[in-house]
Chain A
Amino acid sequence: MRAREPDRTGHATAGGVRLYWEEHGQGDRTLLLIPPWQIVDSRSWKMQIPYLSRHARVVTYDPAGCGRSDRPATGYDHDRMAEHALAVMDAVGAERVSLVCLSRSAWIGVILAATHPARVERLALTAVALDDRPIVGQSFLAPRERYEGWEKYNAHYWRAHYRDFVEFFMGQLFTEPHSTKAWEDGVAWGLEVDPETLIATVREWRGRHTLAEILPRVQVPTLILHGTDDHVRPFALAERTHAAIKGSRLVALEGSGHGPQLRDPVRINRLLRDFLEPGRAPARTWRRAMARPRRALVVSSPIGLGHSLRDVSIARELRALVPDLEIHWLAQDPVTRVLQARGETIHPASRLLSGESAHIESEAGEHELHVFQAWREMDEILLANFMVLHDLLEAEPYDLVIGDEAWEVDYYLHENPEVKRTPFAWLTDFVGWLPMDRDPASREARVAADYNAEMIEQVERFPRVRDLALFVGSPADIVEGTFGPGLPAIRDWTAAHYQFPGYVLPFDPDAFADREALRARLGFRPDERVVLAAVGGTAVGQHLLRKVVAAAPVLRRRVDGLRLVVVTGPRIDPATLPPTPGVEYRAFVPDLYAHLAACDLAIVQGGLSTCMELTAAGRPFLYFPLRNHFEQSFHVPHRLARYGAGVRLDYAATDADALAQAAADALARPAASRPVERDGARRAARLIAPLLDGARR
């Protein structure tokens, strides 16, 4: 899913060509983000739109030839493209805009700035492709003897081997290490364009103006951003443009390639905002550092409600250790419901966050979630949410950021360590992206290893980013194996780079030791055998619930005194499940663990928190890891096996009879798992407290 849906969309028409545009946000200023060459469309601005649209009205459009705009056979010269941009401005009612251009659309920018100065306020040129040299000619149109490297930039080659060209070209675009996701995006976008249209855009790559004539006519404030490692358009082009546009400012992005807006979005967003929004007023108040209240901000992953529950426990312990501490939460649904139920303070900027749960649900199939890929597809959401945190920390001083699997915070702080202004404590319950495809030569295995390698490089290069790294568990909970070919052993590396507070339970199991009283409170009779099905915080689990409901008649025959309770969680409406006699639906219960501790048998997914809560409560349970979910398939079972807890079942291979059989067997067998440590939250808080209070060092 996108980080942000447009507030308004429409089509502009220019010379009979329909151009799809989108409008995001509002404000006195309008920014027109113009995509580059038609090989990609307006999605190339996906990392900028959510951020810039919080500060201005942002308009973007798909140029003729790609995306949701018309794809005429001809009409792709610079001047026509500039007229199209004007048509979009007219359609959205923008008299005057700032233009943000990328690569080839720099031509549109300089033409409009020179010929329509009244309509252009400022001009930002990124990875400029301003070059008079004709690319078209024999080299492009005539067949070649061979097609190596840039020789693939050829009409004949495109007609025969378009995908290979696109893959090659995107490889040239993203020269930075670890660019797999940007490359995949670029290839996918490029393949949506047909080669004939793309050939036309190259063949007609010309216009009325020469650079020598047009550039000196640009009078508006101009910013030029260009990578020094740009393999598509050399940095010298940016220097030439800078020299020709009087008063322009050139920023060299050292080590960046031709797609810095995707690969270095934090820096690009900052540069663009500072340039496009000049004269921003400073904050109206400033409090002396030594007079500031002590404040921590918790960023808790919404993917799996267990994160927020354990974070609430840690927060409680932390407040006991640092009494004057204020804790605020930057969180989204459904975490906010957990927090509200516990009286925690939710920071108002939370409403600016893009939804991660909805994205994960959109990526899920029937009891299936390729969570690694789903997470990778979430890149624009993660960046958008990092920028929310970035702005928040710039405006309000905090003493500590606690990120529980807050991947965006950890990743973008390592990518931009200079924006770190607050100590950072990082928590996770697993380390290592593990491919579901166990063939090490598979694309998935190579990409997972690349992510692991990047993470290791980040942590080793910038040890200061994580002031504290906590593994929620014990060293023995770390899986065996390596991060990938030639990479360290996961267990050794994690043991060396993390501290281990033990598992963090969100409750004290002793409080639920009196099961009779607990059952009485929840309305479970002593003679009933309560089988509880629950699926956590997202809607992904609805298929498992349906399977359990469908098995209800068989279960009833196999289990005397059965009472089947189905907890649907915060994001599944019980009304969407089939009403079945003898099945009791409960919607979101804020104290799920009370139900878990009170039941006789639980049926759950393979999420860590729920399984560990059942283990701590000493309850028997059946768990069904989501298919293709590496964490539930590898990390969690490894840990549960260590505790000797739960029975793992495969969703696809388990029919109603098998489910009923497994339930009956588990009910007949006493649970005999190892006890779960109870002081994890306190130990975690003790490790975190010294970051807040120097007296605790």
Chain B
Amino acid sequence: MGGDEGWDLDYYLHENPDLKRAPYAFLTDFIGMLPMRDDRTSTEYQRCWEKNAENVDHLRRHPDVRDLSIMVGDEEDVLDQEFGTDLPNMREWARTHFRFAGYPLHFDPRACADRAALRRRLGYRDDERVILVSVGGTRAGRHLLQKCATAFATLAGRLPDTRMILVAGPRLESIEVPPGARIELKPFVPNLFEHHAAADLAIVQGGLSTTMELAALRTPFLYFPLRNHFEQQLHVARRLSRLGAGLRLDFDATTAEALGAIIADRLGRPASWAPVRADGTERAATLLAGLLEAR
């Protein structure tokens, strides 16, 4: 069995280890439930503490449940701080309980290397600049789309030969596009990663997959971690800052005008960060294969 952040499977197997009938591999891209505020008296802190303590206990008491724990990332992607009061340091604990696979991309970035051809295929002209805004599948993205549209309208005059594409998903109807702006609304684009590879600037939320995709493609991007989303706020942001990829922005603190200025500044500026290793999928598969073949 494999469980990619299969928390249900992982929890109940540890609570009922005698039900386990097959080798089990657990995968995750973050370690540690973290409170958004470091107030040790808060209920949120205590809830996180309890969850982390339970997880640590589970693995100590029933080490046989997980035949393999894979961290989708590197050691340095785990925060170097304790899980909570009297609990282990997350990075040290991860070092002894996890194998690190690096980040697995779901595509081969080399396939997007010929950017000119890719742009032609996607209908992006050589002499235009494309800003791609996409917000994943949740409702939370509508406000970001709207803010981007407003920001772009304010500066469209200053940026000739530039258009913005909003991949809006089912929220298409609710976005107000200012008249005259070079903004296209699309419900969906197949192979978003190709658009990300071809675009001149991307604006996204703080989800790990999308931001890591952009980091690997070396496309400049702005990202807005969701408020109170500890994974986006803490774990993902830490990873990206380690890579030096993307510019983190706070949704509430960034006005449409400010966003416009940032867009103008970042548009077309080449990636400054080091290339991202692209062998995570292979490394994870090699680790998993070890469970299926004799050692």
Please tell me if the beta carbons of B294 and A289 are within 8 angstroms of each other in the complex. no
Interface residues of A in 649-697 (CB under 8 A from B): 690-695, 697
Residue B97 interfacial (CB < 8 Å):
yes
Complex-state Cα separation, A294 to B62, whole angstroms: 9
Among the stretches A440-448, A460-468, A615-623, the one at the interface with B is A460-468
Q: Which chain A residues border B62 with CB–CB below 8 Å?
A: 289, 399, 694
**CB distance B294 to A460 under 8 Å?**
yes
Please tell me if the beta carbons of A497 and B294 are within 8 angstroms of each other in the complex.
yes
Q: Output the nearest chain A residue to B67 by Cβ-Cβ distance.
A: A464
A288 to B295, CA, bound (A): 33
The reply to whether A460 and B64 contact each other, CB–CB distance below 8 Å, is: no
- B63 near A692 with CB under 8 A, answer yes
A697 touches B63 (CB 8 A): yes
Q: Which of B53-61, B132-140, B170-178 contacts A (4 or more CB under 8 A)?
A: B53-61
Q: Is the CB of B60 within 8 A of A289?
A: no
Number of A residues contacting the other chain (C-beta, 8 Å)? Answer: 27
Q: Given the interface contacts A423-B64, A692-B63, A694-B61, does A418 sit within 8 Å of B21 by beta carbon?
A: yes
- Does B218 interact with chain A (Cβ within 8 Å)? no
Interface: A268 (CB within 8 A)? no
Among candidates B17, B57, B97, B292, residue contacting A397 with C-beta atoms closer than 8 Å: B17
Within 8 A of A (CB), among B5-21: 14-18, 20-21
Give CA–CA (A460, B18) in the complex, Å. Answer: 24
Q: Judging by beta carbons under 8 Å apart, are B291 and A697 in contact?
A: no
**CA of A418 to CA of B17, assembled, Å:** 14
Q: Please state if A691 and B63 are interface contacts (CB–CB under 8 Å).
A: yes
Let me know if A421 is at the binding interface, CB within 8 A. Answer: yes
Is A459 on the interface with B (CB-CB < 8 A)? Answer: yes
B86 in the interface, Cβ–Cβ < 8 Å?
no
What's the nearest-Cβ distance from chain A to residue B69, in Å?
10
A290 touches B294 (CB 8 A): no
A280 to chain B, nearest CB (A): 17
Which chain A residues lie closer than 8 Å to B59 at the CB level? Answer: 694
- Contact assessment for A467 and B64 in the assembled complex, using a CB-CB cutoff below 8 Å: yes
Please state if A288 and B64 are interface contacts (CB–CB under 8 Å). Answer: no
A397 nearest in chain B by CB position = B18
B291 to chain A, nearest CB (A): 7
Bound-state Cα–Cα, A76 to B100, Å = 70
Enumerate chain B residues within 8 angstroms of A692, measured Cβ to Cβ.
63
A687 to chain B: closest CB distance in Å? 13
Smallest CB-CB separation from B290: which chain A residue? Answer: A463
With beta carbons under 8 angstroms apart, the residue of A290, A422, A464 that contacts B23 is A464
Interface centre among A289, A467, A690, A691 (most CB of B within 10 A): A289
Q: Contact check, B295 vs A289: say whether CB atoms are below 8 A apart.
A: no
Quick one: CB contact mask for B41-71 with A, threshold 8 Å, 1 for yes?
A: 0000000000000000111111110010000
- Which residue of chain B has the shortest Cβ distance to A393 in the bound complex? B18
* B295 A497 Cβ-Cβ under 8 A: yes
From A422, A459, A467, A690, give the contact of B294 (CB < 8 A). Answer: A459
Asked if A463 and B291 sit within 8 Å, CB to CB, the answer is yes
Out of B15, B61, B291, which one reaches A464, CB within 8 Å?
B291
Given known pairs A288-B15, A290-B58, A697-B97, the reply for A463 and B63 (CB within 8 Å) is no
Which of A423, A460, A461, A690 has its CB near the most chain B CB atoms (within 10 A)? A423
Give 3 closest A-B pairs by Cβ, nearest first.
A694-B63, A460-B294, A694-B60
| Contacts A/B (CB < 8 Å), 20 sampled | A288-B15, A290-B14, A290-B57, A290-B61, A294-B61, A397-B17, A397-B18, A399-B62, A421-B18, A423-B64, A459-B294, A463-B294, A463-B295, A690-B63, A691-B64, A694-B59, A694-B62, A694-B97, A697-B63, A697-B96
Mark B residues whose CB is within 8 Å of A: 14-18, 20-23, 57-64, 67, 96-97, 290-295
